[in-house]
A and B are shown apart, each in its own frame.
Chain A
Amino acid sequence: MIQIKFFASLRERLGTSSLNLQYAGENTVADVAHELVERGEEWRFLEERDVLCAVNQTLCGKDAKINDGDEIAFFPPVTGG
Chain B
Amino acid sequence: MISVQRDDFDHCEQYLALKEEADGDGAVVTFTGLVRDFNVQGAVSGIHIEHYPGMTEKSLMRICSEARKRWQLGQIRVIHRVGRIGPQEQIVFVGVTSKHRKNAFDACEFIIDYLKTSAPLWKQEGTSEGMKWVASRLSDKEAMDRWLNTTNLS
Band of interface residues on B = 20 to 34
Flag if A59 contacts B50 (CB, 8 Å): no
Known A73-B52, A81-B115; judge A58-B58 contact (CB<8 A): yes
Interface of B is mostly: mixed
Choose the segment among B21-29, B68-76, B130-138 that binds chain A (4+ C-beta atoms closer than 8 Å): B130-138
Residue of B nearest to A81 (CB): B116
Chain A: residues with Cβ within 8 Å of the partner, total of 17
Contacts of B140 in A (CB 8 A): 81
Residues B115 and A7 in contact, CB atoms below 8 Å apart = no
Cβ–Cβ contact A76 & B120, under 8 A: no
What 1/0 flags go to B112-126 for Cβ under 8 Å of A? 100111111111000
- The answer, yes or no, to whether A75 is at the interface (CB within 8 Å) is yes
Interface centre among A54, A59, A73 (most CB of B within 10 A): A59
Chain B residue contacts of A76, Cβ below 8 A: 122, 133, 136
A2-18: CB near B (< 8 Å → 1, else 0) gives 00010111000000000
Q: Is A79 engaged at the interface, CB distance under 8 Å to the other chain?
A: yes
What are the residues of chain B within 8 A of A22 when measuring CB–CB?
Answer: none
B58 in contact with A78 (CB, 8 Å): no
Q: A80-B80, A80-B123 are in contact. Are A9 and B133 (CB under 8 A)?
A: yes
Q: List 6 A-B contacts (CB under 8 A).
A: A5-B52, A7-B120, A77-B135, A78-B117, A79-B121, A79-B136
Residues on A facing B (Cβ under 8 Å):
5, 7-9, 50, 54, 57-59, 73, 75-81
B binding-site residues for A, Cβ under 8 Å = 33, 49-52, 54-55, 58-59, 80, 91-92, 112, 115-123, 133-137, 140
